[in-house]
Structure 1
Amino acid sequence: MNKPLVIAIAAVSGGGKTTIVQALNNELNFSKSLYFDEYDFDECPDDFFEWVQRGCNYNEWNTEILVNDIKELLSQPNLEYVLLDYPFAYKNDKVASYLDYTIFIETPLDIAMARRILRDRENESIEVLKEDLTYYISKGRIAYLEMLNTIKPNSDFIIDGNLSIDNLITEIVKKIKTLN
């Protein structure tokens, strides 16, 4: 019996990782998924802007809890795919050793920002939205650009985030099926 393929889906915040992993999990038989945002990492950078300024050492993220869940899924019988909503591609050494393939969804930053605001700030006041956008312009955008400069070229497959969800899933499934 072959071990399941571990496939990471990366994108900037609001780029579509969670949506695509959920849709892939529904599309692919014998798959399980893990979501980066569901973890409370004990050791990770406190200030993302400062972390990016220091050069983004992705190994500062103690991803052991995620690795343990990946190991658990790899031990399950009849599983073909482990799908990760995971932003770092191969850049964190602990997780990278378990990855078979990484996909980067290249979503334009304005669309990703709009999605993030709609998702995270739905019931917020205009003042909170202004603060969020001001932070993005002054500090947050650098983290988005870091993803484009570091994670995107570190991924095995780059797909256009402007595609519809159905087209994204079709193209990704075609690519995944060539890996077997």
Structure 2
Amino acid sequence: MTKIISIATVSGGGKTTLTERLMQALPHSEAIHFDDIDFKHAPEDLTKWVDDGADPHAWDLSPLSDQIEQLIAGDHPPSYLILDYPFSYLHPDISARIDISIYVHTPLDVAMARRIIRDQRGQKRIVEELAHYLSKSRRAYVYMEEQVMPTADLVLDGTEDPALLVSNVLRHLYYGSTLTK
């Protein structure tokens, strides 16, 4: 039976790094990245969605649910399925499938700096991105900390070395305990 691990954090918080490292550490594992899925029925303006209450039900997650089903119902289902997924247990279509939800708590300034470095934006674009963050998108980041993080089974410090994060996840998976939370 496939154990499903959900990983959430703000953009730049370390989801991809943790997902990649867990895939190396966990035998016979697969990953699904939320951002790689085309959701036809999803809010178009994320800032407005957050301002209107950020109801996860506004998202039709059937494409994600279908991908999960295809992987776990296949001839060789993975032992572990890692979901790079923003809602933790907040969306009922996915929450019943999750065995453990992890939130990587990364300070917002660190996450923003990582995004700028990762995307290697020019100086003008960096200024535009920071202005947009301050005027609009910061509310979505705060939503993640206030609404998603409290639902997680395990909260990790996103400023820690990725090897330590993986170690804490494995400790939680195998023994039900961790040094962080």
Distance in 2 (alpha carbons) for counterparts of 1:33 and 1:49: 27
Distance in 1 (alpha carbons) for counterparts of 2:30 and 2:110: 28
Distance in 2 (alpha carbons) for counterparts of 1:105 and 1:49: 22
> How much has 1:98 moved relative to structure 2?
1.2
> How much has 1:35 moved relative to structure 2?
0.7
Percent sequence identity over aligned pairs? 35
Aligned to 1:35: 33
> How much has 1:11 moved relative to structure 2?
0.5
Find 2:124's aligned residue among 111, 122, 127. Answer: 127
Q: How many residue pairs align between the two structures?
A: 175
- Superposed CA deviations along residues 77-122 of structure 1, whole A, max 9, x for unmatched, are 36211111111101112111211110000011111001111122x1
Aligned to 2:164: 167
> How much has 1:40 moved relative to structure 2?
1.4
Alignment of 1:1-180 (within 5 A): 3-76=1-74, 77=76, 79-120=78-119, 122=120, 124-178=121-175
Distance in 1 (alpha carbons) for counterparts of 2:78 and 2:124: 47
- Is there any run of 5+ residues in structure 1 with no aligned partner, and where? none
> How much has 1:125 moved relative to structure 2?
2.7
Distance in 2 (alpha carbons) for counterparts of 1:52 and 1:24: 30
Distance in 2 (alpha carbons) for counterparts of 1:115 and 1:40: 25
Distance in 1 (alpha carbons) for counterparts of 2:86 and 2:98: 13
Distance in 2 (alpha carbons) for counterparts of 1:159 and 1:149: 15
SS of structure 1 residue aligned to 2:82: strand
- Is there any run of 5+ residues in structure 2 with no aligned partner, and where? 177-181
Distance in 2 (alpha carbons) for counterparts of 1:157 and 1:100: 11
Whichever residue aligns with residue 106 of structure 1, its letter is H
TM-score normalised by length of structure 1? 0.93
SS of structure 1 residue aligned to 2:38: coil
Runs of 4+ in 1 over 3 A off after TM superposition: none
TM-score normalised by length of structure 2? 0.92
Distance in 2 (alpha carbons) for counterparts of 1:137 and 1:13: 15
> How much has 1:178 moved relative to structure 2?
2.7
Q: Conserved in 1, the CA contact under 8 Å of 2:71 and 2:77?
A: no
